């Protein structure tokens, strides 16, 4: 039997629906509203929460973990540590979020009546092993927590107490590594167990099994993996870590992570793992994933664009908007818009982006082509603008000691590649990401251009750097580029920050 939810509108929308470093999406619906949570790793605040009315246009409405008491990230915790793979669910009139903090507290559970916040203090889950925890409730009120592996334990979500031992319920496809990101659903007569496997690199995929009870036994889908782009030249790669949601019209949809590699061989992705959308059909009791492409079929309902992330921030508000990220924490004495009204003031801790405790405030690079500018006053310190992947992979343009310097940190190599004297007073710093056409197998994905703007608006380029060295394929890890402001000594002030998309 075939139950179709494939859209027939003939229109398309751009994929990814949430571009940039928004990985490991988990989605739920409450009425006609959709809410989505993503991993945040070493960044504070943690677990971005996004809202949509149409599955296509998403607005970040907050961060679930926005208080130090909720999110403990030691200053020496490594990049790509921290917060892994949340599951977001709406049940019994509340929103539930379960997540792993691999850098300190293990598995944690939070609740909220409003997904925009505030979220509760954490309920610790010492009896829940592993990572990638999921929550599902059966008709008798039992709460089942399934984790990467794939193991499962019953849980009292109000206290965090586990009810009985954990047990293995499925191991995924024989020969496929890393069965992870489990999500359990009751759909019709079956319980479906959706997982990712193959690792989160080019072999990533989505597989599914079903059983009559939430704890199995489970039979695998004969068509597994139901989604993968491994071994293809598809522009979307590393497809996996999916979650399912049903629309109010009865249609089914999948959100998942993927990457957009650029350049020649082997291909480099620089924005991190992004959130994509695909329709889902049901054939003989199994989900069949529809077209997943950069121009995706539009849902069969009116699209309702949400509020876009502002291009420019003049720092006129008392608190930073939810899309701003810091590293591991954000103490008020190191980051404030209240000291100098209309300016962001950063107080130095670490001396450079090499240090895990550097004072840094940035936003995700969400477009392959973009321009970022900021006006910095270094009369009482030094700092600048950086394109960051981790402590060992970043490009910086820094105003210090009467000059502007461009510095490249690539693994063990560290060099000032250009410098220029600057007049006294604030200086406008500029960074551009410029995608490159592929001319041979060695072509990198893009060029990072760094320089300053003169008072008359003239751009003075100081350096043009190969973007491949700020990619996951070079640096490793699980994050994407974040472009932001930093302080390296004393206090520095930023009058505004401007992020201008120049393409997709």
pLDDT of 8-56, one tens digit each?
A: 445 788 999 999 999 999 999 999 999 999 999 999 999 999 999 999 9
For residue 6, name the pLDDT band (cuts at 50, 70, 90): very low
Euclidean distance between CA atoms 228 and 382, whole angstroms: 47
Which one is catalytic: 134, 166, 180, 466? 180
CATH 2.60.40.10 fits 312-501, yes or no: no
**Residue 270: burial class (beta carbons within 10 Å; 0-12, 13-18, 19+):** buried
Angle at 48 (CA atoms; ends 363, 263), nearest 5 degrees = 50
pLDDT, one tens digit per residue, over 413-424 is: 999 999 999 888
Average of per-residue pLDDT across 186-191: 97
Element (H, E) at 473: helix 472-475
pLDDT of residue 274: 98
Mean pLDDT computed over every residue of the chain: 95
Dihedral sign, Cα of residue 335, residue 61, residue 372, residue 474: positive
- Any bridge partners for residue 37, and if so which? 26, 49
494 contacts: CB under 8 Å, gap ≥ 6: 315, 343, 344, 345, 346, 374, 375, 376, 377, 485
Catalytic residue list contains 180 = yes
Euclidean distance between CA atoms 473 and 268, whole angstroms: 6
Q: What is the largest CA-CA distance in the chain?
A: 74
Which residue ranges make up each domain of the chain? 2-297, 312-501
3-state secondary structure at position 56: coil
For residue 1, name the pLDDT band (cuts at 50, 70, 90): very low
pLDDT of residue 145: 98
3-state secondary structure at position 55: coil
pLDDT of residue 310: 84
pLDDT of residue 10: 55
Average of per-residue pLDDT across 345-354: 97
Average of per-residue pLDDT across 330-341: 96
Closest CA to 376 of 246, 207, 489: 489
Catalytic residue list contains 339 = no
Closest CA to 227 of 198, 261, 187, 267: 198
pLDDT of residue 3: 39
3-state secondary structure at position 309: coil
Average of per-residue pLDDT across 151-171: 96
Closest CA to 104 of 133, 70, 127: 70
Residue 397 near residue 485, CB atoms below 8 Å: no
Q: Do the bridges between strand 43-44 and strand 326-327 make them parallel or antiparallel, or are there none, so unpaired? A: antiparallel
For the 2-297 domain, the top CATH level (class) is mainly beta
Closest CA to 274 of 295, 290, 255, 253: 255
Euclidean distance between CA atoms 326 and 9, whole angstroms: 41
Angle at 143 (CA atoms; ends 194, 89), nearest 5 degrees = 60
Average of per-residue pLDDT across 112-120: 98
pLDDT of residue 2: 39
């Amino acid at each position: 039997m075939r139950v179709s939810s494939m859209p027939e509108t003939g229109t398309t929308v751009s994929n990814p629906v949430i571009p940039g470093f928004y990985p490991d999406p988990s989605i739920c619906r409450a009425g006609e509203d959709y809410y989505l949570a993503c991993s945040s790793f070493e960044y504070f605040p943690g677990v971005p929460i996004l809202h949509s009315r149409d599955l296509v246009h998403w607005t970040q409405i907050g961060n679930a973990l926005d208080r130090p008491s909720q999110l403990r990230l030691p200053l020496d915790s490594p990049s790509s540590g921290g917060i892994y793979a949340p599951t977001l669910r709406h049940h019994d009139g509340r929103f539930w979020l379960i997540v792993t903090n691999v850098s300190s507290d293990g598995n944690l559970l939070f609740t909220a009546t409003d997904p925009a916040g505030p979220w509760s203090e954490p309920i610790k889950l010492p009896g829940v092993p592993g990572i990638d925890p999921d929550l599902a409730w059966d008709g008798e009120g039992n709460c089942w927590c399934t984790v990467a592996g794939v193991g499962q334990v019953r849980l009292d979500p109000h206290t965090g107490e586990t009810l009985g031992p954990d047990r293995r319920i499925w191991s995924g496809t024989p020969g496929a590594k890393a069965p992870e990101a489990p999500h359990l659903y009751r759909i019709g007569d079956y319980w479906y167990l959706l997982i990712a496997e193959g690792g989160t690199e080019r072999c990533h995929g989505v597989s599914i099994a079903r059983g009559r009870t939430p704890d199995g036994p489970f039979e695998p889908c004969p068509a597994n993996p139901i989604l993968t782009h491994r071994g293809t030249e598809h522009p979307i790669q590393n497809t996996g870590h999916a979650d399912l949601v049903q629309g109010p019209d009865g249609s089914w949809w999948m959100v998942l992570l993927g990457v957009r590699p650029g350049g020649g061989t082997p291909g480099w992705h620089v924005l991190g793992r992004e959130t994509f959308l695909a329709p889902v059909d049901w054939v003989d009791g199994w989900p069949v994933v529809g077209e997943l492409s950069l121009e995706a079929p539009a849902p069969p309902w009116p699209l309702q664009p949400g509020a876009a992330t502002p291009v420019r921030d003049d720092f006129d508000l008392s608190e930073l908007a939810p899309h701003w990220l810091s590293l591991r924490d954000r103490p008020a004495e190191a980051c404030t818009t209240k000291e100098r009204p209309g300016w962001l003031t950063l107080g130095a801790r670490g001396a450079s982006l090499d240090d895990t405790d550097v004072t840094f405030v940035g936003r995700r690079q969400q477009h392959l082509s973009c321009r970022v500018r900021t006006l910095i006053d270094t009369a009482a310190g030094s700092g600048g603008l950086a394109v960051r992947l981790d402590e060992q992979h970043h490009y910086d343009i820094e105003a210090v000691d009467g000059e502007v310097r461009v510095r490249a940190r690539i693994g063990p190599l560290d060099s000032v590649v250009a410098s220029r004297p600057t007049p006294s007073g604030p200086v406008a710093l500029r960074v551009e990401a410029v995608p490159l056409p592929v001319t041979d197998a060695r072509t990198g994905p893009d060029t990072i251009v760094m320089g300053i703007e003169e008072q008359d608006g003239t751009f003075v380029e100081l350096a043009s750097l190969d973007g491949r060295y700020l990619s996951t394929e070079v640096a490793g890890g699980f994050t994407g580029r974040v472009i932001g402001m930093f302080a390296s000594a004393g206090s520095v002030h930023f009058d505004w920050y401007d992020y201008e998309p120049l393409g997709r």
